[in-house]
Amino acid sequence: MIQDYIIGIGNVIFGIALIPSLLSDKKPSKWTSISTSSVLFVFCGTFISLDMGWSAIMSYINASFWAILFGQQLNNEYNERQRVKNLITY
């Protein structure tokens, strides 16, 4: 099905576009990351139910990238809180 490949290729492009954010110190909002990841995981399940395997795989990878961004943002917030806490205690 041609739609599978078109959607899959679009997801590859979105995934490549996310790589700089994954490697950068600047991250999108954690709420943007978790909501986008959640929707993409739902899309993945939908693509599986439509027998669109390529789109499902690419959506899963993109959802995982967004979940990683969410985790990185949480980690950054935790590190910042620890830094401030250490400054206060000295």
pLDDT tens digits for range 37-51: 999 999 999 999 999
Single-letter code of the amino acid located at 24:
S
90: pLDDT strictly greater than 80 = no
Q: Rounded to an integer, what distance in angstroms lies between the CA atom of residue 48 and that of residue 14?
A: 19
- Report, in this order, helix, strand and coil percent for the chain, each rounded to 5: 90, 0, 10
pLDDT tens for 3-32 read: 999 999 999 999 999 999 999 988 899 899
Residue carrying the six token digits 């490697």: 23
Give, for 85, the enclosing helix (H) or strand (E). Answer: helix 53-89
